[in-house]
Structure 1
Amino acid sequence: MKVRRLAPADIEAIEAAQYYKAIDPKLSDRLIKEFEASIQRIVRFPQGWKPIDNDLRQCVIKGFPYVVIYAVRGEEIIVVAFANTHRQPGYWRDRLTNI
């Protein structure tokens, strides 16, 4: 399956990594590793995570308060958000017009 990440999701991942790097560079490295591992799990099992709305699903990032919000469209996985679970739910919904 092909993975397409929306630009705002990439920005969220970068900002989260920068936040954790300021605390401890090892945390930042671990977050990036877990984010990429989550994407690979989604590729292997695209329907394996909790549906949250119609064709959207969320995959929890191990060890961090983040989830990957994604949609499966045919043979493509679209990463909509790298969402902090402490942030307002659904803030990323306006991005759905881009998929």
Structure 2
Amino acid sequence: MKFFLHPQAQEELEQTVLFYKKQQAGLEKRFIEAAEDAINRACRNPLLYRKIDDDVRKCRLLHFPYAIIFRPRSAQVEIIAIMHLRKQPNYWQSRK
């Protein structure tokens, strides 16, 4: 299944990559790999992940305090947010 990245989710991804790049050499690459893995898992089996709102689900990244917030659609997975798990948990709801 294909995916669509909401423009604000794309921005969150880019900002997080820059943050990890400043923290430690190579850490941004590990974050990108973890994000790609979570997106792939959500695309392979979107209904496996816990509902957090009407039709919105959450897939956690491995080894990082982030989750992919997404909505399964018939032809694709719509990624609404790349959310830090310890900050403003419902900020993404205006994107629905």
How far 1:7 moved relative to its partner?
0.5
Aligned residues: CA RMSD? 0.8
Counterpart CA distance in 2 for 1:9 and 1:21 is 18
In the TM superposition, what are the counterparts of 1:20-99 in structure 2 within 5 Å?
20-96=20-96
The superposition leaves residues 37-70 of structure 1 with CA deviations (integer Å, 9 ceiling, x where unpaired) of 1111111111111110111000000000100000
Q: In the alignment, which residue of structure 2 is the partner of 1:5?
A: 5
Normalised to the residue count of structure 1, the TM-score between the two structures is 0.93
- Flag as ranges the 4+ runs of structure 1 deviating above 6 A: none
- Structure 2 counterpart of 1:78, which letter? E
Name structure 2 gaps, 5 residues minimum: none
How far 1:2 moved relative to its partner?
2.1
Counterpart CA distance in 2 for 1:76 and 1:43 is 8
Counterpart CA distance in 2 for 1:50 and 1:94 is 20
How many positions carry a matched residue from both structures? 96
Query: Percent identity at matched positions?
Result: 31
Name structure 1 gaps, 5 residues minimum: none
